[in-house]
Amino acid sequence: MFGVLMITLLLTIALVGSNMDTILKQGVIYQVRAEITENTTIAQGFNNPDEFEKFVQQKIDERIKTLGLDNPWYSPQRLGYTMYKILILDFGNATFLTSDSGSSNVGEIIFEKMPKTILLFTTATIIISIIGIVLGAASSNKIGSKLDRITSTFAVISSSFPVWWVGMLMIFVFAFVYQIFPARATPSIEPDDPEYILALLYHMALPVITIVLIGFGAWAYLVRNFMVGIMQEDFITAKKTIGISKNKIVYSHALRNAAPPIVTILALSLSGSLGGAIITEAVFDWPGMGRLYFEAINVMDLPVIIGSTYILTVLFLVSIFIADLLYGYFDPRVRTSS
């Protein structure tokens, strides 16, 4: 797992490394030139421009050397140093972007945005799973009924629409045609205002509704399929013959047995949605990590890109790990066999 993390990091650095070097070097050149031109006495000391150019170049080379930029980004010491810094969550300073409080420390920016992403997607996922489980169980109770057919159809249709497109439509309908919700999901009041939380929740409504609308159909379908499988098992037939009511069997016995795969997929889908957050947040302008990532890509703010990729990967891996643990907890067969 740690290995995967390192490889991810390595890949990210490999992909952005050469660009970062060029940008940093240009920065140094600019800085050195600015310093020299500000100090007029240095320029007066030279009588021909060639000599002056040479002096400037020499200064630039010196500066690049002291910063360690003369080694390419893949040289072991620089790579090791970069990796070490990222491991201790020191991502350095962002080139362009700042946090809301004005800090340009990448770690601070990310940790300011992360809670909002987690808030949005956890809320949505919880709502989706509740609706999905209830609906899925209900439709597996009566296979072939109207409810079942509607759920299945809805699942197939809803899952083929891109979330962000539905988001655009929702903004169009509910923010402009009927002005119920705000179009931008970023609240306009200051974060330290006591009403901020209320405003945030109000602004969160439209994204959450959209994500839920697209997600719950597929969930219900999934739960239904698991349940159908379980309802064919022998112990359920045995319970039926004893005379336990069907509703009780479905909602307590069968559902409990369907729990392990459901919980695993829940954890996985939560982490999967974090990746999808980039587009969804860009549409709704939700001030979370996805939008940060999008903005960072737009202005090529490399420290932010590296930092957020790292954090996203960590979150992804952690949720896979949690999914594994939960599976073991719910399904003891896995524990004993390993």
Partner 1 sequence: MSSVSTNEIKREFLKSKLGLTGIFILSGLILVSIITISVIPASTFQEWNNPEKWISYPKTSVPSWVNFLTSEKIPEHKIIPGKIFESQKDGIFLTSQQFGVYFDYDDFPSDFIFETKIKYSDSHLVQIKVIRPDGITLELLSTSLPYSEIDTTHSQRYFSTDSMIKKSLNVYKNDFQFELLTSSTDAIFSHLDENKVQKGNYIFMINTYGIDESVDVIESKMILGGKAFGLMGTDELRRDLAIGLLWGTPLALFIGISVSVGSVVVGLIYGVYSGYKGKKTDEAMMRFNDIIYALPALPFLIILAVTISNSIFLMIGFLMIFSWVGIAKVSRSMSLQIKTRQYVEAAKIMGQKDSKIIFRHILPQLLPYAFASIAISVPAAITTEAGLSFLGLGDPSFPTWGQILHDANTYGAAAQGFWWWIVPPGILIAITGLAFVFIGNALDVIVNPKLKR
Binding site for partner 1 (CB under 8 A): 1, 3-4, 7-8, 11-12, 15-16, 19, 143, 156-157, 159-162, 164-166, 168-169, 171-172, 175-177, 183, 225, 228-229, 274-276, 278-279, 282-283, 293-294, 297-298, 300, 305, 308-309, 312-313, 316-317, 320
Of the two residues 128 and 218, which places its CB atom closer to partner 1 in the complex?
218
For the CB of residue 128, give the shortest distance to partner 1 in the complex, in Å.
Answer: 18
- Token digits of residue 242: 């004893």
Of the two residues 67 and 168, which places its CB atom closer to partner 1 in the complex?
168
Of the two residues 42 and 324, which places its CB atom closer to partner 1 in the complex?
324
For the CB of residue 149, give the shortest distance to partner 1 in the complex, in Å.
Answer: 12
For the CB of residue 271, give the shortest distance to partner 1 in the complex, in Å.
Answer: 8
Check: CB of residue 228 under 8 Å from CB of residue 139: no
**Residue at token pair 């931008």:** 184
The phi and psi torsions of 105 (rounded to 5 degrees) equal -75, 125
For the CB of residue 42, give the shortest distance to partner 1 in the complex, in Å.
Answer: 38
- Token digits of residue 207: 């994204």
Phi-psi region of 102 (alpha: psi -120 to 50; beta: other; left: phi over 0): left
**Residue at token pair 């240095």:** 42
Of the two residues 157 and 180, which places its CB atom closer to partner 1 in the complex?
157
Phi-psi region of 243 (alpha: psi -120 to 50; beta: other; left: phi over 0): left
Of the two residues 197 and 325, which places its CB atom closer to partner 1 in the complex?
325
For the CB of residue 174, give the shortest distance to partner 1 in the complex, in Å.
Answer: 10
C-alpha to C-alpha distances, 19 to 78, 239, 295, 336, nearest whole angstrom: 15, 65, 17, 50
Nearest one of 73, 43, 69, 66 to 56, comparing CA atoms:
43
For the CB of residue 203, give the shortest distance to partner 1 in the complex, in Å.
Answer: 16
307 Cβ contact list (under 8 Å, min separation 6): 86, 91, 106, 107, 109, 110
Cα–Cα distance for residue pair 337/82, rounded to 1 Å: 41
Of the two residues 16 and 255, which places its CB atom closer to partner 1 in the complex?
16
Of the two residues 52 and 328, which places its CB atom closer to partner 1 in the complex?
328
For the CB of residue 150, give the shortest distance to partner 1 in the complex, in Å.
Answer: 15
- Token digits of residue 311: 């954090």
Nearest one of 25, 5, 60 to 321, comparing CA atoms:
5
For the CB of residue 300, give the shortest distance to partner 1 in the complex, in Å.
Answer: 7
Of the two residues 40 and 160, which places its CB atom closer to partner 1 in the complex?
160
| Beta-carbon-side half-sphere exposure of residue 118 (alpha carbons within 13 Å) | 12
Listing DSSP states for 289-332 in one string gives HHHHHHHHHHHT-HHHHHHHHHHHHHHHHHHHHHHHHHHHHH-H
